[in-house]
Every structure is written in structure tokens, then in C-alpha cells.
Amino acid sequence: MIDILHDLIFDYTLRNVALGSMLLGIVSGVLGSFAVLRRQGLLGDALSHAALPGIAIAFMLTGSRETIVLLLGAGITGWIGTMLFMRVVKDTKISEDTALGVILSVFFGIGIVLLTLIQNQNTANQAGLDKYLFGQAAALVTRNVITFAILGGIAFLVLLAFYKEFKLLTFDADFAASIGLPVRALDVLLTSLIVIAVMIGLQTVGVVLMAAMIIGPGAAARQWTDRLPTMLTLAGAFGALAGVTGAVISVQGDRLPTGPMIILVLTVIVLVSIVLAPRHGFVPQRIRQWRNRRAMMSVPQSPGATLQEGEA
């Protein structure tokens, strides 16, 4: 344990990977909780896949593999995908899950085609773009961590500024509209914040696994509480725990990929929460039901009730 703490502090690679993964876990956990509460589980999946063409287009236009350039491209196409999704749901009879599936498939297909075209150019500068499919956390450097911190800080500042509005939008959008709140604009803003979380996660866990980082921490936190502030805090903590633990295991292990290890740790946290969480966990609920049945059976029946049953 002491050796691990020493490495976290003094080992350059492990420190950057752990900090980057922790920032990803906190940001995606807090922002993804709103997607969980709004029953938009596929939103993170759609946004992450919609970001893939942006990475390819940004490289084709600039010829640069700088993280901030590629992430800006990913954010733009992710945001465009979000706008298309909202327009399709509003103007057609297509359901939300169907619209998300269409956006996911179309944008991901475009991204794969563009990446293939780039790879066929056989230019040395294009090496490594395919790593965004599954993440490349081991390649994180200090400037990447700083970029993640700035993006996450911007997202949290916006979240704090509009916390009450986002809370009302999440739990009662109709009432929010009735009191004059710009529901559509707030919806766009909240989803745009989730796009920022996706931007942070692309280099760490990649397009394919990013959906789990958006949904997992919030789903686990929901099992422990019914209060939004507590849920957001727990989701951020669970995301950070999964990020740091997965990073440590991947670096300490023999060439274990960081992104999948983070998701596996997060899966364990979700499963433990579903089974053992005192508030909504499977086992505590079954124990409460058993105690309630036992208490009801131990209550003596009144003579009147017995007479009525006999007469019936």
C-alpha cells in the first residue's frame, strides 16, 4: 500500500494516468447522474460515438494530433449530434431511444470511414488516432491533465450557476415550463455539459467505453440515496474511485489496458451498490420485506375480524 502511494506521488506516468482518470470519474459521474435521473441511459453512448467523426475531421483540417484540437473537434460533432437528436424527437414521432440509436450508428459509421481514409494516406502523423476508440490513458501527460481540469472546472461552474434550474428540469420539466423557464435552452445546456464529460473521457477510456463512465457512477449512487446533492457527491466519488483504482491496477499489472480496467472496477462498484446499498439494494429490500411480512403475521386478529371471516 505504501509503495502504491509512493508511486502515485512520484511516478510521472502513474500520477498523470491516475489524475486524468480521477478527473474523468468525477466529471462524468456528477454530470451523468442527470442523464440517469432523466432516463437517458443511451445519451452518453450516442454522444461518445457522435464525437468520433470530430476527431477525424479535426485532424484532416489541421494535421495536428494535439489533444485540445482533437477534443474540440469531438465536442463540436458531439454537440451537433445532440442537436439532431433533439430535433428528431421534437419534430417526428420517433421515440428517444430510437433517435439515440440512429444518431449513434450514423455518426460512428462516419467516424470509422474517416479514420480509415486517414490511415490509408500512410502519413506518419496519423498514427495513434485509432486509440481514441478504446482510449490511450497511458499516454496522458501533464498538459492533458491540465486540459481535463480546465474543461471539468468550466462544466462545474456552469452546473453550480444553473443547479436549481437543472434540478427542476430533471424532476418536473412541465412545471419548469409553466413558470417560464427556458426548458429547451436548459436542456441544450445540460446536454452540452455532458458533451464536455465525453470530451474528457475520449483519450482515457475511448469512444466505445465512454457510455459506461457516464451512466455507471450515477446508477451506483442512485442505489444509496434519494437526495440529489448526496447522489451527485457519491457519483463523483464512485467515478474517482473507479478511475484511480483502475489506473493503479493497469500500471501495476502486466500491460493491462487502463480504460477497460476502469470500467471493470466501476462494474464492481455498480454491482455491489445494486446488491448491498442500504437504501435500494436488493438484499436490504428483501430483508425489509421479510421483516414487514413477519410483523404483519405477528399482529393478533381482533374477534370481530375473525367473526367476519367465519361468516364469509
Instruction: With a cut of 60, say whether residue 309 has pLDDT above it.
Output: no
SS3 140: coil
Question: Total domain count for the chain?
Answer: 1
CATH, residue 129: 1.10.3470.10
Q: Is residue 1 part of a domain?
A: no
pTM equals 0.84
Q: Is residue 63 part of a domain?
A: yes
Q: How far apart are CA 94 and CA 134, in angstroms?
A: 30
Q: How confident is the model at residue 39 (pLDDT cuts 50, 70, 90)?
A: confident
Q: Is residue 248 part of a domain?
A: no
Can you read off the three cell numbers belonging to residue 69?
484540437
Q: Is residue 150 part of a domain?
A: yes
* Contacting residues for 243 by C-beta, under 8 A, at least 6 apart: 18, 20, 21, 22, 23, 24, 25, 26, 204, 262
Q: Is residue 291 part of a domain?
A: no
User: Of all residues in the chain, what percent carry a pLDDT higher than 90?
Assistant: 27
Instruction: With a cut of 90, say whether residue 156 has pLDDT above it.
Output: yes
CA 121 to chain centre: 34
Q: Is residue 124 part of a domain?
A: yes
Q: What is the mean pLDDT of residues 31-56?
A: 84
Instruction: With a cut of 50, say whether residue 82 has pLDDT above it.
Output: yes
Q: How far apart are CA 245 and CA 113, in angstroms?
A: 35
Q: Is residue 178 part of a domain?
A: yes
Q: How far apart are CA 29 and CA 12, in angstroms?
A: 25
Average pLDDT over all residues of the chain:
83
Q: Is residue 44 part of a domain?
A: yes
Instruction: With a cut of 50, say whether residue 151 has pLDDT above it.
Output: yes
Q: What is the mean pLDDT of residues 158-178?
A: 92
Q: What is the mean pLDDT of residues 233-241?
A: 95
pLDDT tens-place string over residues 95-143: 877 887 888 888 889 988 988 888 777 665 565 666 777 777 777 888 8
Number of H helices, E strands in the chain: 14, 0
Can you read off the three cell numbers belonging to residue 274?
445494486
Q: Does residue 29 contact residue 262 with C-beta atoms inside 8 Å?
A: no
- The parent domain of residue 96 ranges over 7-210
Q: What is the mean pLDDT of residues 2-12?
A: 62
Can you read off the three cell numbers belonging to residue 204?
482515457
Per-residue pLDDT at 83: 83
Instruction: Report CA-CA distances (Å) from 133 to 34, 68, 143, 215, 275.
Output: 25, 17, 21, 18, 32
